[in-house]
């Protein structure tokens, strides 16, 4: 009888931990945008639509350095340059709108994009 009680306690603890982990860290990662792709100074994709509260991951891919600056929205911008391949940062959009962004070092080369937040 003690073994059954001990086993049921373990199952209860595991279930509680799984439920806690599932709901506690519930950041909605919507999409990943690559900075530099196929030898080009571009964001890939350069236009996306996400929901309010979603998180967009920007990943350094090719031809660094890159950053991501949102026009008139410093709260969503990431001014630090990413140099290392695979280096990434997340941006969570908490207000609906259309957000035009660019890579400051490469904006003149057309490294621009837009995120539509619904």
Global confidence as pTM: 0.76
Could you confirm whether 103 is annotated as catalytic? yes
Could you confirm whether 15 is annotated as catalytic? no
Could you confirm whether 11 is annotated as catalytic? no
Going from the N-terminus, what domains does the chain have, and what CATH number goes with each? 27-117 (2.60.40.420)
Among 21, 40, 66, 116, the active-site one is: 66
Determine the pLDDT at residue 78: 97
Among 35, 68, 78, 106, the active-site one is: 106
pLDDT single digits (tens) 38-80? 999 999 999 999 999 999 999 999 999 999 999 999 999 999 9
pLDDT mean over 8-27: 47
Among 6, 40, 103, 116, the active-site one is: 103
Determine the pLDDT at residue 15: 42
Cβ partners under 8 Å of residue 41, min gap 6: 63, 103, 106, 109, 110, 111
């Amino acid at each position: 009888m003690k073994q059954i009680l001990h086993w049921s306690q373990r199952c209860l603890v595991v279930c509680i931990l799984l439920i806690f982990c599932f709901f506690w860290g519930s950041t909605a990662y919507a999409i990943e945008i690559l900075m530099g792709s196929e030898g080009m100074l571009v964001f890939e994709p350069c236009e996306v639509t996400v929901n309010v509260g979603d998180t967009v991951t920007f990943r350094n891919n090719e031809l660094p350095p890159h950053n991501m600056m949102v026009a008139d929205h410093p709260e969503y911008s990431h001014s630090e340059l990413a140099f290392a391949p695979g280096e990434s940062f997340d941006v969570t959009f908490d207000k609906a709108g259309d957000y035009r962004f660019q890579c400051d070092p490469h904006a003149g080369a057309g490294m621009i994009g837009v995120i539509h937040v619904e």
